[in-house]
Amino acid sequence: MTGDFIRPVFVISVAAQLADMHPQTLRQYDRMGLVSPSRQAGKQRRYSQRDVQLLRQVQQLSKEGVSLEGIRRILQLQAEVDRLRGEVQLLSSEVQQLRNNQTRVFAAGTTAGDVVSLARGMRPVRRETAFGIFTMQRAIGR
């Protein structure tokens, strides 16, 4: 399904009809970098369903009074959010995989600088701290 959504199949006249725009508007948006379709060998523009959806979004934002530069920035930010969401999903799955495969954890020991290996869910055993008792003696007669 995703492959069909991004496959460039529509020539500019069909894409313009689907987006309810004039073909010259699509050429202008391509020059500005708002919606950049794929190119065939003869440099003919080919639009995907995703491109048509972006054209409709550009048209809606334009009707709402957003400038073309503002629309470009909105599209850039949306693309960045999509990229970051994909990265977060990838990292989350990696963390989950690492957690599933991990049988031992490392923790700070009870003595300064110690690192101990423990089974998952266990805590290091506390050792009783021995305090030395120091007494002061006074010299008598001095």
Q: What is the pLDDT of residues 82-114, one digit of tens each?
A: 999 999 999 999 998 888 876 666 666 667 777
Neighbours of 116 (CB within 10 A): 15
Spell out the domain ranges in the chain: 2-100
Assign domain 2-100 to its CATH architecture: Orthogonal Bundle (1.10)
pLDDT, residue 130, reads 54
Answer whether 0.85 is exceeded by the pTM.
no
pLDDT, residue 90, reads 95
pLDDT, residue 7, reads 77
Amino acid at residue number 78: Q
pLDDT, residue 140, reads 57
pLDDT, residue 14, reads 93
Residue of 14, 16, 17 lying closest to 35 (CA atoms): 16
Averaged pLDDT of the chain: 82
For each of the chain's 142 residues, which pLDDT tens digit applies? 556 667 778 899 999 999 999 999 999 999 998 988 888 877 888 999 999 999 999 999 999 999 999 999 999 999 999 999 999 999 999 998 888 876 666 666 667 777 777 766 776 666 655 555 545 555 555 4
pLDDT, residue 52, reads 93
Query: Per-residue DSSP letters for 61-105?
Result: HHHTT--HHHHHHHHHHHHHHHHHHHHHHHHHHHHHHHHHH--EE
